[in-house]
Structure 1
Amino acid sequence: MKIAISSMGKTKEDLLDIRFGRCEYFQIYNTENKEIIILENKGLNASGGAGIAAANQLIEEKVNVVVTGKLGPNAFDIIDKEGIKAYSCDSLKIIKVMEYYNKGELKEIKMAGPSHQG
């Protein structure tokens, strides 16, 4: 299984970025082979549609789970349609986010947050 976390940096000590479409990086954890991939978010500098670009990037990476702060309507619809589970978390160190995920302590995102422009 692949778990993508919106992140402010490239290490487990960096914080989760509560912004999905405008986060700087995605840290993708493969639970089967323990591989960690760090991706620059393609949506970060988009003039519009950042959430769409970010969601499509994670679909290309074949992720199964997304952990972030909130998802806007477009990103939520894309992720939901693909059957990717999404969870909400505060801005904590990534290592702590993974601990909460593994313990089943994160709240599932079942509806989109507010729309953002730009």
Structure 2
Amino acid sequence: MRIAISAAGAGPDAPAEERFGRCAWFVIFDEHGNVQESIANTARSSAEGAGVKSTQLLLRNNIDVVLTGRVGPKAMHAMLNGGVVVYTGVAATVNETLEKYLNGQMKPLAVPNARQHAGDTRSERLAT
């Protein structure tokens, strides 16, 4: 099993990121909590479809579980169709988020918990 955590930086000590599609990095762990790699989220600067493109990136990297904060409808649909289980409720850092997950303190997400976005607009950046 491979677990991806949305992050503001590479590595387990980086701040965890609430935003799924616009996070800078995904830090990847195995089911035992061992760091495997950090993947730059090349979809984050997409004019539109960042969530779906981020999902495609994770599916290409055989991710089974995503730990994040907010997921929009299209990304959520793509992850569910791809067999990815999504958990919400990130902590301050990637390591702390992983610990929450491993201790059963994160909730699985079955429906989107963010509105659909249309690109990375100025008002959206100010709101997050």
What is the TM-score of this pair, normalised by structure 1? 0.93
Q: C-alpha offsets along residues 1-56 of structure 1, whole Å, 9 cap, x if unaligned? A: 10000000112221111010000000011236934211110211111110011000
Range 89-98 or range 25-34, more displaced: 25-34
Residues 18/33 of structure 1: CA separation in 2 closer, same or farther (3 Å cut): closer
Q: Which residue of 2 aligns with 1:51?
A: 51
Letter in 2 for 1:34: N
Root-mean-square deviation over aligned CA pairs: 1.5
User: Which residues in structure 2 correspond to 1:98-113 (within 5 Å)?
Assistant: 98-112=98-112, 113=114
Q: Secondary structure at the match of 2:15?
A: coil
Residues 69, 91 of structure 1: 8 Å contact kept: no
Is 1:30 paired with 2:30?
Answer: yes
Residues 27, 39 of structure 1: 8 Å contact kept: yes
In structure 2, stretches of 5+ residues that fail to align are 120-128
- Once the two structures are TM-superposed, the CA of residue 103 in structure 1 deviates from its matched residue by 0.7
Residues 99/15 of structure 1: CA separation in 2 closer, same or farther (3 Å cut): same
- Once the two structures are TM-superposed, the CA of residue 91 in structure 1 deviates from its matched residue by 4.4
Alpha-carbon distance in structure 1 between the residues aligned to 2:31 and 2:91: 22
Q: Secondary structure at the match of 1:67?
A: strand
Is 1:68 paired with 2:68?
Answer: yes
Residues paired across the two proteins, number? 118
What is the TM-score of this pair, normalised by structure 2? 0.86
Identity among equivalent positions (%) equals 28
Alpha-carbon distance in structure 2 between the residues aligned to 1:7 and 1:35: 13
Alpha-carbon distance in structure 1 between the residues aligned to 2:35 and 2:5: 14
Residues 6, 20 of structure 2: 8 Å contact kept: yes
Name segments (4+ residues, structure 1) moved above 2 Å. 31-35
Alpha-carbon distance in structure 1 between the residues aligned to 2:117 and 2:91: 19
